[in-house]
Amino acid sequence: MLERRQLKNRAQVTFVLPQDTPEGPVSVVGDFNDWNPAAHPLRSRGDGTRAVTISLPRHSMHSFRYLAADDHWFNDSDADTHDGSNSRLHT
């Protein structure tokens, strides 16, 4: 799930997943962090989910995916679009 908050010149995007689906650590990776799995790991929240918030330029398009344990890559079903193997997000 994606949560968005528009600011003056930036957009805050929060990437949200259930606490244990999939099990183990998960990171969001994309063109906004040079596809670096260490850059944005999801952290537990008190509501039973885990999430990470990233600030991105407004009116931009980004490709991303999630990376879980055991090299398990997956897309976000709530993404704006998909371009083959990646989820796409428009801020």
pLDDT per position as a tens digit, 10-42: 999 999 999 988 999 999 999 999 999 999 999
Element (H, E) at 22: none
- Contact indicator for 64, 30 with CB cutoff of 8 Å: yes
Looking only at the bridges linking them, the beta strands covering 49-57 and 10-18 are antiparallel
- Contact indicator for 11, 52 with CB cutoff of 8 Å: no
Band (6; pLDDT cuts 50, 70, 90): very high
Domains of the chain, earliest start first = 2-84 (2.60.40.10)
Angle subtended at Cα 31 by Cα 28 and Cα 34, rounded to the nearest 5 degrees: 85
- As given in the structure block, the two tokens for residue 76 are 């976000």
Q: pLDDT tens, 64-84?
A: 999 999 999 999 999 999 998
Average pLDDT, the chain: 95
Model pLDDT, residue 20:
87
